[in-house]
């Protein structure tokens, strides 16, 4: 865990692949636990530390996660995420290059709970939700493509599912068609930037995640 931004009301940290934001059936220690411990030790707080989870990242994904340190910030951030007032930018390394250098993808996504997987359709099907994202190719090597993605909706595994649906699975993402896994179990998807108006101070907040410590990420960034 790396702290990117912190004030009295919010804290933004950079999550590593493999960390879970909030508790699940594995019972593993969470990123929220680590942030609480950090706050407790830094400010010598007695008793329990308040920390609100306002959004999540999939376990194998890297990048920025915002937490609320006060109930006022939590309530307002929840509203902001719901209304789309928090703008997130993702970087993905894909196996193939999209046919178009820049486009908006529109699909209907249906989630299979048992498989923990989503499926994309070009028409509405029972239980599906409309999913939209904008992508732009920002780098290419002989074998991989660096794609910048801005979500227009927030659906389960949306980026992973929609990019795979156009024949561009994310590197390492076996669940969505990647040829092989990454050695560390990650997928090459990074929540790179986040922008929003501070829920209390009303100042503009901009944060950027560091790249994973990986040769391919560094090479793609140079491109």
pLDDT tens profile 43-83: 998 888 999 999 999 999 999 999 999 999 999 999 999 99
Number of neighbouring beta carbons within 10 Å of residue 37: 13
pLDDT of residue 23: 75
pLDDT at 47: 86
Q: Which backbone phi and psi does 170 adopt, to 5 degrees?
A: -70, 140
Q: What is the phi/psi pair of residue 103, to 5°?
A: -165, 165
What confidence tens digit (pLDDT) does each residue in 180-199 have?
A: 999 999 999 999 999 999 99
């Amino acid at each position: 865990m790396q702290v990117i931004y912190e004030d009295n009301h919010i804290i933004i940290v950079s999550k590593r692949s493999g960390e879970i934001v909030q508790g699940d059936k594995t019972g593993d220690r969470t990123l929220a636990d680590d942030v609480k411990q950090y706050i407790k030790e830094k400010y010598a707080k007695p008793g329990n530390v308040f920390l609100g989870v306002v959004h999540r990242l999939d376990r194998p994904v890297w990048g920025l996660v915002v937490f609320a340190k006060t109930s006022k910030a939590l309530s307002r951030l929840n509203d902001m995420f719901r209304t789309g007032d928090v703008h997130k930018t993702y970087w993905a390394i894909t196996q193939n290059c999209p046919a178009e250098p820049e486009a908006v993808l529109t699909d209907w996504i249906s989630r299979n709970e048992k498989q923990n997987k989503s499926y994309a359709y070009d028409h509405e099907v029972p239980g599906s939700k409309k999913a939209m994202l904008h992508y732009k190719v920002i780098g290419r090597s002989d074998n991989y493509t660096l794609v910048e993605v801005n979500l227009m909706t927030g659906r389960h595994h949306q980026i992973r599912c929609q990019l795979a649906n156009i024949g561009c699975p994310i590197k390492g993402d076996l669940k969505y068609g990647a040829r092989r896994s990454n050695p560390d179990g990650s997928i090459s998807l990074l929540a790179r930037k986040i922008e929003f108006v501070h829920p209390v101070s009303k100042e503009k907040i901009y944060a950027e995640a560091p790249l994973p410590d990986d040769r391919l990420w560094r090479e793609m960034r140079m491109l």
